[in-house]
């Protein structure tokens, strides 16, 4: 009986943990393949600066076709990576977005994570800089942020990383190789991955139709679980065109919270500030998705094993009870009277009285 109670407790605890993880994933993840009007878009997506919906909501135009234009888009629902009181419970995330941005000097785009209490209207604040992060230095000097911006031109691919308080943090300048120049109206895909186990943010790019795994890439180290002391943050994209007077478009955007991948499963370098051109086939892309599936399958397998053990234990328990009841049953003998004898069924034979 005690074993049955113990297994029941383990089953309930496991279900609770799985439910909590799934609830966290569902509450913090989003996906927009286009930006047509919807309750989710109206409730959780905020446009700022010069950004606006275009082409019947199929895209968001972040900058106008005038020089010095700045715009942004923010997913306003807070995200929390740290679960529980210990940093080892920090979750990982992946974010994917497709955009169009001319290959000219001055055209930049940024991926920004800021505290949930920050005035989100700051994303569209204009300044005299051509940086998509300049609004943080002007209006959020003392806020703790994690952000990067990148520009792609014939001069090369460059990135700038900002982690900490803009007023006291130093910008880290990176460069990465690879042919990412886009034709007029062409698109580029970007994937941002944060691994909580290694505390690394990796940024990769891919042209549509490419068979390679979103390369080239750059990476930098940051502990997002501790950056805001376990607090919540919001994520957004900011864009600026400097003196180019080009329009920047966002076509799709997805953000997924997931369990961290163990360090030993990483096949790519984890050194921060490393910029290389990866030559990975589509098998690598499938490997990333496979790691996520393994964790989900493991959870389902454990849940199935617990349910099976509970079922077997319950069956044994009921069988034992039934066996005890049968052994305790009382047999009442019946007598059969024959002339001169009395025969007891289940007993001996007695001589009857004459």
Q: Which tokens belong to 313?
A: 């234990």
Report how far Cα 106 is from the mean position of its chain's Cα atoms: 32
Q: What is the DSSP letter of 15?
A: H
- Please give the tally of structural domains in the chain: 1
Cα separation, 255 vs 119, in Å, equals: 21
Residue 194 lies in a domain: yes
- Would you say 130 and 108 are in contact if contact means Cβ atoms under 8 Å apart? yes
- Domain that includes residue 185, residue range: 26-258
Domain containing residue 149: CATH number = 2.60.120.200
Residues 121, 123, 125: CA angle, nearest 5 degrees:
80
Provide the pLDDT for residue 102. 87
Tens digits of pLDDT across the chain (354 residues): 454 444 444 444 444 344 334 434 445 789 998 888 777 788 899 999 999 999 888 899 999 999 889 999 999 999 988 776 554 578 899 999 999 998 888 899 999 999 988 888 777 777 666 788 988 988 888 999 999 999 988 888 999 999 999 998 889 999 888 888 877 778 999 999 999 989 999 999 988 877 665 565 899 999 998 888 877 899 999 999 888 888 999 999 999 998 766 544 444 443 333 333 333 333 333 444 444 556 566 766 777 777 777 887 887 877 777 776 665 554 445 554 544 444 444 444 444 444
Residue 304 lies in a domain: no
Provide the pLDDT for residue 304. 76
Provide the pLDDT for residue 247. 92
Q: What is the DSSP letter of 212?
A: S
Strands 108-115 and 341-344: unpaired
Cα separation, 163 vs 48, in Å, equals: 23
Comparing CA positions, the residue from 267, 190, 254, 257 lying closest to residue 224 is: 257
Phi, psi of 352 (to 5 degrees): -80, 160
Kindly provide the b/e burial profile for residues 23-32, where b requires at least 16 CB atoms within 10 angstroms of the residue's own CB.
ebeeebbbeb
Q: Which tokens belong to 99?
A: 């955009």
Comparing CA positions, the residue from 152, 179, 160, 134 lying closest to residue 246 is: 152
Which pTM does this prediction carry?
Answer: 0.67
Provide the pLDDT for residue 99. 95
Residue 308 lies in a domain: no
Residues 20, 25, 28: CA angle, nearest 5 degrees:
120
Residue 279 lies in a domain: no
Report how far Cα 345 is from the mean position of its chain's Cα atoms: 76
Residue 59 lies in a domain: yes
Q: Which residues pair with 65 in a beta bridge?
A: none
Residue 4 lies in a domain: no
Residue 347 lies in a domain: no
Q: What is the DSSP letter of 121?
A: G
Residue 13 lies in a domain: no
Q: Which tokens belong to 261?
A: 């991948």
273 to each of 29, 114, 202, 225, how far by Cα in Å? 28, 22, 10, 20
Instruction: Write down the H helix ranges in 45-200.
Output: 134-139
């Amino acid at each position: 009986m005690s074993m049955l109670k113990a297994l029941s407790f383990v089953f309930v605890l496991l279900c609770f943990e799985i439910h909590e993880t799934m609830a966290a994933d569902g509450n913090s993840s989003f996906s927009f393949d286009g930006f047509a009007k919807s309750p989710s878009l109206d409730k959780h997506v905020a446009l700022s600066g010069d950004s606006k919906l275009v082409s019947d909501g199929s895209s968001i135009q972040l900058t106008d076709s005038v020089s010095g234009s700045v715009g942004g888009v923010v997913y306003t629902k807070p995200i929390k990576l740290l679960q529980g009181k210990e940093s080892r419970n920090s979750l990982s995330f992946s974010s994917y977005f497709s955009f169009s941005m001319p290959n000219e000097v001055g055209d930049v785009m940024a991926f920004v994570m800021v505290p949930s209490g920050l005035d989100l209207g700051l994303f569209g604040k204009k300044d005299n800089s051509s940086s998509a992060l300049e609004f943080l230095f002007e209006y959020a000097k003392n806020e703790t942020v994690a952000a990067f911006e990148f520009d792609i031109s014939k001069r090369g691919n460059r990135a700038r990383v900002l982690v900490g308080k803009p007023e006291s943090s130093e910008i880290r300048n990176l460069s990465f190789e690879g042919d990412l120049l886009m034709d007029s109206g062409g698109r580029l895909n970007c994937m941002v991955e944060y691994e909580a186990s290694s505390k690394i943010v990796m940024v990769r790019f891919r042209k549509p139709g490419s068979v390679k795994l979103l390369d080239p890439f750059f990476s930098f180290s940051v502990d997002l679980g501790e950056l805001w002391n376990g607090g919540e943050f919001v994520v957004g994209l900011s864009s600026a065109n400097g003196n180019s007077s080009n329009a920047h478009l966002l076509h799709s955007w997805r953000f997924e919270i997931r369990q961290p991948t163990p360090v030993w499963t990483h096949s790519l370098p984890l050194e921060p500030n490393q910029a290389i051109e990866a030559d990975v086939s589509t098998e690598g892309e499938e490997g990333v998705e496979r790691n996520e599936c393994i964790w989900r399958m493991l959870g389902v397998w454990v849940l199935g094993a617990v349910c099976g053990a509970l079922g077997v234990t319950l069956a044994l328990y009921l069988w034992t009870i039934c066996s005890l009841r049968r052994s305790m049953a009382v047999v009442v003998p019946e007598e059969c009277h024959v002339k001169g004898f009395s025969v007891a069924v289940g007993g001996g034979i007695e001589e009857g009285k004459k």
